[in-house]
Amino acid sequence: MPISGKAAVKILERNGFIVSRQRGSHVVPTKQAAGNKNIVVVPLHKELKKGTLRSIARMAGLDTKELGL
């Protein structure tokens, strides 16, 4: 099942990320944790490809199953 960029942002928000800014069709959620700052860039496409979702999961430090892979 394909996931949209908006759905990916909502999943990240449920995991403690806050949307810090948006430029064009890219949203940048961030998360402050233990002195580290995780920054993730999510394109607001209708369907995100598997490789893009894997990259988002890697940047966010999440399991790929949380993003529907």
8-52 confidence digits (pLDDT tens): 999 999 999 999 999 999 999 999 978 888 999 999 999 999 999
pTM over 0.85: yes
Q: Encoding tokens for residue 42?
A: 């999510």
**What's the structural domain count of the chain?**
1
Domain that holds residue 40: 5-59
Residue 67 falls inside a structural domain:
no
Residue 69 falls inside a structural domain:
no
- At residue 14, the pLDDT reads 94
Q: Encoding tokens for residue 26?
A: 């890219």
Question: For position 53, which CATH number holds?
Answer: 3.30.920.30
Q: How far apart are CA 23 and CA 33, in angstroms?
A: 24
User: Burial of 56 by CB count in 10 Å (0-12 exposed, 13-18 middle, 19+ buried)?
Assistant: buried
